[in-house]
């Protein structure tokens, strides 16, 4: 597992965290000029649904998901989505997109009257679902990452995908324990 140094990840001037496995996603673009990173959006994801430990998430974020590998994949394989970070069940942190770039994680979204939340947020996916508790190792890595992000970006809010896309998204779901994160 990629462990933080001194209980933090050092995020460099290119927007990448140290000691973190990097897997490049092509699904990003430039943030609009003048937009600061002010928000973190927490998601959950499992591929196939409710299954953990496989390569499906990585394949989805790198546009290499085989539509014939699972019936669910046939519905989503052509989606162009990504996230800045993924936290596996064992706490491993993987980065797909530089924090300085706009990852495609939020979709149609609004927060406090501002639309297009991808413009001003960092997306963090937790390997999980709406039906299972998250692991303590995930909360530990999440808190370390949040601390590191807040040290260099003007983070003002930490929200769930369901908060910015109500009625459309439910993640991080009812088993995400908001009391376990340091806002």
pLDDT in the model for residue 6: 57
pLDDT in the model for residue 1: 46
**Cis bond before residue 172 (omega within 30° of 0):** yes
Active site (annotated) includes residue 30 = no
Distance CA 114, CA 79 (A): 24
- Residue in 92, 125, 127, 135 annotated catalytic: 125
The pLDDT mean for the chain works out to: 95
Report the candidate in 136, 169, 133 with the shortest Cα–Cα distance to residue 42. 169
What CATH number belongs to 21-180?
A: 3.40.80.10
pTM (2 decimals)?
0.95
| String of DSSP letters for 107-119 | -S-EETTEE-GGG
Please state the domain extents for the chain.
21-180
Backbone angles phi, psi at 101, to 5 degrees: -95, 165
Distance CA 128, CA 90 (A): 11
Give the tokens for residue 150: 């807040």
Q: How far apart are the first and last CA of the chain?
A: 24
Cα distances from 57 to residues 13, 74, 86, 119, 163, in angstroms, run: 27, 14, 9, 22, 22
Give the tokens for residue 42: 């927490």
Tens digits of per-residue pLDDT, 92-130? 999 999 999 999 999 999 999 999 999 999 999 999 999
Give the tokens for residue 23: 């897997």
Tens digits of per-residue pLDDT, 138-182? 999 999 999 999 999 999 999 999 999 999 999 999 999 999 998
């Amino acid at each position: 597992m990629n462990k933080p140094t001194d209980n933090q990840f050092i995020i460099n001037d290119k927007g990448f965290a140290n000691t973190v496995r990097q897997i490049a996603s092509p699904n990003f673009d430039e943030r609009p000029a003048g937009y600061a990173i002010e928000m973190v959006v927490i998601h959950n994801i499992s591929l196939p649904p409710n299954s953990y430990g496989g390569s499906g998430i990585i394949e989805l974020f790198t546009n290499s998901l085989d539509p014939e590998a699972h019936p669910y994949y046939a519905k989503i394989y052509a989606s162009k989505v990504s996230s800045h970070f993924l936290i596996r069940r064992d706490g491993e942190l993987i980065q797909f997109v530089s924090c300085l770039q706009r990852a495609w994680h939020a979709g149609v979204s609004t927060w406090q009257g501002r639309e297009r939340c991808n413009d001003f947020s960092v997306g963090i996916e937790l390997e999980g679902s709406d039906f299972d508790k998250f692991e303590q190792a995930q909360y530990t890595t999440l808190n370390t990452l949040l601390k590191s992000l807040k040290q260099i970006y003007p983070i003002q809010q930490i929200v769930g995908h369901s908060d910015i896309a109500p009625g459309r998204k439910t993640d991080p779901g009812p088993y995400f324990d908001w009391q376990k994160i340091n806002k």
